[in-house]
């Protein structure tokens, strides 16, 4: 599940994680944002002031636990459906329960949800000191590639924020 080629270092101090299915339109906004931030970081890497790792995943995976143990600062970018206007940016620091999915508890042989994975990391003493959640309100999860206009504009804005973060001037 780890997108191995996108990993920059095996021991990142900061990990920027994009979650979503890039073949389900707006659900892929997390990976889209993280890939663009990574490209920018690569282009200007010589000026980077901190080690940054980039990972994109269709869904959270237990393999993240080991990466989290080596991370001080975790930034998660994911699609959100809360009823807000499509393109709305959500931000908050993680604490128990804030990323809980509605209805089904996502802990099974097929995967853990974001909340369950973070709780597991916390229970195992692997939770980074700071976990920042960025959500983008989405409009469409139909099969196929490409973001809807409002979500694409929000992605542009978030890329700028996270570029600044990746370059060492903390975002958020």
Partner 1 sequence: MTTLRIDVPYMARVEGEGALNIVVEDDEIKHLELNIFEPPRFFEAFLQGRHFMEAPDITARICGICPVAYQMSSSHALDKILGIQITPEIRALRRLLYCAEWIESHALHIYLLHAPDFLGYESAISMVADPALRPAVEMGLRMKKIGNDLLAIIGGREVHPLSPTVGGFYRAPTQGELSALKSELEWGLEASIKTVAWTATLDFPDFEPDYELVSLRHPDEYPMNEGRIVSNKGLDIPMEEFETHFINDHVAHSNAVQVYHRDGGSYNTGPLARLNLNLDRLTPLAKQALAETGHQFPSNNPFKSIVARAVEVVLAYEEALDIIETYVRPEPSRIEAKPRAGWGCHITEAPRGMLYHRYELDENGLILSCRIDAPTAQNLKRMEDDLWAFVPQVLQLPHDEATLRCEQLVRNYDPCISCATHFLKLNIITDS
Instruction: Give the interface with partner 1 as residue ranges (CB under 8 A).
Output: 1-2, 4, 61-63, 65-66, 103-111, 116, 119-120, 123-124
Nearer to partner 1, 111 or 171 (CB): 111
Q: How far is the CB of 110 from partner 1 (least distance, A)?
A: 4
Q: How far is the CB of 94 from partner 1 (least distance, A)?
A: 15
Nearer to partner 1, 23 or 91 (CB): 23
Q: How far is the CB of 76 from partner 1 (least distance, A)?
A: 18
| β partners of residue 80 | 137
User: Could you write out the DSSP letters of every residue in 17-48?
Assistant: EEES-TTBGGGGHHHHHHHHHHHHHHHTGGG-
User: Could you write out the DSSP letters of every residue in 95-137?
Assistant: -TTTTPPSSS--EETTEE-HHHHHHHHHHTT---SEEEEEEEE
Nearer to partner 1, 8 or 126 (CB): 126
């Amino acid at each position: 599940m780890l997108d191995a080629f996108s990993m920059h270092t095996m021991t990142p101090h900061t990990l920027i994680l994009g979650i979503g299915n890039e073949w389900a339109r707006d659900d892929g906004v997390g990976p889209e944002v993280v890939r663009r931030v990574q490209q920018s970081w690569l282009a200007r890497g010589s000026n980077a002031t901190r080690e940054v790792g980039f990972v994109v995943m269709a869904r959270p995976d237990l393999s993240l636990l080991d990466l989290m143990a080596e991370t001080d600062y975790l930034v998660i970018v994911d699609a959100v459906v809360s009823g807000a206007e499509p393109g709305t940016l959500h931000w908050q620091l993680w604490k128990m329960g804030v990323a809980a999915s509605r209805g089904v508890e996502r802990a099974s042989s097929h995967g853990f949800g974001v909340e369950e994975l973070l709780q597991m990391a916390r229970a195992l003493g692997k939770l980074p000191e700071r976990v920042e959640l960025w959500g983008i309100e989405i409009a469409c999860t139909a099969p196929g590639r490409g973001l809807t206009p409002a979500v694409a504009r929000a992605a542009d804005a978030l890329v700028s924020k996270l570029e600044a973060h990746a370059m060492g001037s903390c975002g958020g």
